[in-house]
């Protein structure tokens, strides 16, 4: 339906016949002159109609146009220094393909601001705005860069079930569903399945996956349906091997984002690409927080306030936007986490980015006896995990992995709230659209 996107129409095409299709962004009627700004994926182009020059049926079609209708225009390119980008289209044919009703639920030209709820309720139209669509273009670029990185590092893309029979990340955050005559749940993560893959010889797997979490949080960093890059790798020495992969992956994602100049220009954002990622012990994090007036008792996980404060400290004192917190107390990590220094610590880590946890992971227990003991320690019933434990009975290599929240990466790269970087967020209050 088109020969060119608007962005491809340059003064160099002067005199050439083109066909363009898109939405009516603006209409300006100056009497003898009528301007229509057409918007498509490539940007904007001005269509200039003149009484006495433009065919009458095109002039009357413009009189009947409504903003945001979909049109197709055939015409010729005219170089004109007064037009935006020095070029406009002289229309010969204008066809209204889909007429937009009015009034519009949102102002795509952004002369009138809308609150986030109104925007999300009309997301299809919100994303017509070039800055909002840039967020999702950037997100797509980051995901492609992630896939490329993982493939180059010998990871195999897999898909694990999203309808599951037992919890992997604790029992309170599950969405129960009815599965014929049995109880089932939406998967909180691929954890148990990606670990079972380590007993198959595939060695390195990843999944770009949805996490379903029935958390009651109502924050700018939590959703009930989140997206993550989840990976697992076998034959590791310890958690350090896993962090090396995560470090390089995250730096590759941020580097990719920083190369999306067009999108960043539209969004008026600049991205700093760190060279490396600091690694600090959990105990040292508590010390740093204490020095800055926040007393977090040993054994507790960082709350939102501590995470934010740590982000500020890391930036101010170490110049680091990204940092690993390593060796958390074993008691606050899931049952599959490898103990470290007896049973006090664990071979686990979280990755912080400007005060928000964007990933967590570690080395897992690969010894069946220890794993069964840890399951019982959490008051979980080993019988419910038999399908998983079986994979540890016939040869399981040492392994580890991580889950990297894509929504969190995006919100921190662009300094936005999590709802702004997800197409159709699911939270406590939102189930449609």
Categorise residue 264: left if φ over 0, alpha if ψ from -120 to 50, beta otherwise: alpha
Mask 229-258, x = binds ligand AMO (CB under 6 A)? -x----------------------------
Which member of 215, 225, 247, 278 is catalytic? Answer: 215
Lookup: tokens for 24: 């009516």
Which member of 217, 222, 292, 430 is catalytic? Answer: 222
Q: Indicate if 213 belongs to the active site.
A: yes
Q: Indicate if 327 belongs to the active site.
A: no
Q: How far is the CB of 275 from ligand AMO (least distance, A)?
A: 22
Produce one character per residue of 193-212: b if its CB has 16 or more CB atoms within 10 Å, e if not: bbbbbbbeeebbbbbbbebb
Name every residue whose Cβ is closer than 8 Å to that of residue 427 and which is 6 or more positions away in sequence: 218, 222, 223, 224, 419
Nearest to ligand AMO of 47, 302 (CB atom) = 302
Which member of 221, 366, 374, 399 is catalytic? Answer: 221
Mask 347-386, x = binds ligand AMO (CB under 6 A)? ----------xxxxx-------------------------
**Closest C-alpha among 232, 271, 226 to residue 251:** 271
Query: Which range, of 156-164, 299-307, 312-320, 402-410, touches ligand AMO by CB under 6 A?
Result: 402-410
Nearest to ligand AMO of 91, 401 (CB atom) = 401
Q: Indicate if 79 belongs to the active site.
A: no
Instruction: Rule CB under 6 A: say whether 160 interacts with ligand AMO.
Output: no
Contact status, residue 427 vs residue 116, Cβ threshold 8 Å: no
Nearest to ligand AMO of 61, 243 (CB atom) = 243
Question: How many residues belong to the chain?
Answer: 433
Distance CA 114, CA 104 (A): 12
What DSSP line would sit under 350-409, residue for residue?
A: EEEETTEEEEEEEEB---HHHHHHHHHHTT--GGGGHHHHGGGTS----EEEEEEEHHHH
Nearest to ligand AMO of 26, 238 (CB atom) = 238
Q: How many residues bind ligand AMO (CB under 6 A)?
A: 22
Lookup: tokens for 407: 């929504």
One residue of 191, 346, 363, 412 binding ligand AMO per CB under 6 A: 191
Chain residues that interact with ligand AMO, rule: CB under 6 A: 169, 189, 191, 211, 213, 215, 222-223, 226, 228, 230, 357-361, 401-403, 405, 407-408
Residues tagged active-site: 213, 215, 221-222, 357, 360, 408
């Amino acid at each position: 339906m088109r020969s060119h996107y608007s962005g491809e129409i340059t003064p160099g095409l002067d005199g050439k016949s083109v066909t363009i299709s898109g939405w009516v962004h603006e209409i300006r009627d100056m009497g003898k002159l009528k301007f229509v700004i057409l918007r498509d994926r490539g940007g904007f182009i001005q269509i200039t109609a003149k009484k006495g020059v433009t065919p009458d049926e095109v002039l009357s079609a413009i009189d009947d146009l409504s903003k945001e209708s979909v049109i197709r225009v055939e015409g010729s390119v005219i170089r004109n220094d007064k037009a935006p980008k020095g070029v406009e289209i002289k229309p010969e044919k204008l066809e209204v393909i889909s007429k937009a009703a009015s009034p519009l639920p949102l102002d795509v030209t952004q002369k009138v601001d809308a609150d986030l709820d109104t925007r999300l309720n009309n997301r299809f139209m919100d994303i017509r705005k070039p800055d909002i669509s840039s967020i999702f273009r950037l997100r797509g670029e980051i995901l492609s860069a992630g896939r490329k990185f993982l493939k180059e590092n010998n990871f195999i893309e897999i898909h694990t079930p999203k309808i599951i029979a037992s919890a992997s990340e604790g029992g309170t955050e599950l969405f129960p569903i009815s599965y014929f005559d049995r109880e089932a749940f939406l998967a909180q993560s691929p954890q148990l399945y990606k670990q079972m893959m380590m007993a198959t010889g595939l060695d390195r797997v990843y999944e770009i996956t949805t996490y379903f979490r029935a958390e009651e949080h109502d924050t700018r960093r939590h959703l009930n349906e989140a997206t993550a890059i989840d990976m697992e790798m076998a034959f590791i020495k310890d958690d350090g091997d896993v962090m090396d992969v995560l470090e390089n992956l995250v730096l590759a994602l941020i580097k990719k984002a920083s190369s999306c100049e067009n999108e960043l220009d539209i969004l008026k954002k600049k991205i700093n690409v760190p060279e490396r990622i600091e690694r600090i012990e959990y105990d040292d994090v508590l010390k740093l927080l204490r020095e800055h007036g926040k007393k977090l008792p040993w054994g507790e996980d960082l709350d939102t306030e501590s995470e934010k404060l740590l982000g500020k400290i890391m930036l101010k004192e170490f110049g680091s936007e990204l940092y690993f917190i390593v060796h958390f107390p074993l008691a606050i990590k899931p049952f599959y986490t490898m103990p470290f220094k007896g049973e006090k610590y664990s071979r686990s880590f979280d990755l912080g980015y400007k005060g928000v946890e964007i990933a967590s992971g570690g080395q897992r227990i690969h010894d069946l006896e220890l794993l069964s003991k840890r399951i019982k320690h959490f008051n979980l019933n080993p019988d419910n995990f038999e399908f998983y434990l079986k994979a540890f009975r016939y040869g399981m290599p040492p392994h580890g992995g991580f889950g990297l929240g894509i929504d969190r990466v995006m919100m921190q790269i662009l300094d936005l709230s999590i709802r702004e970087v997800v197409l159709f967020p699911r939270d406590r209050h939102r189930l449609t659209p």
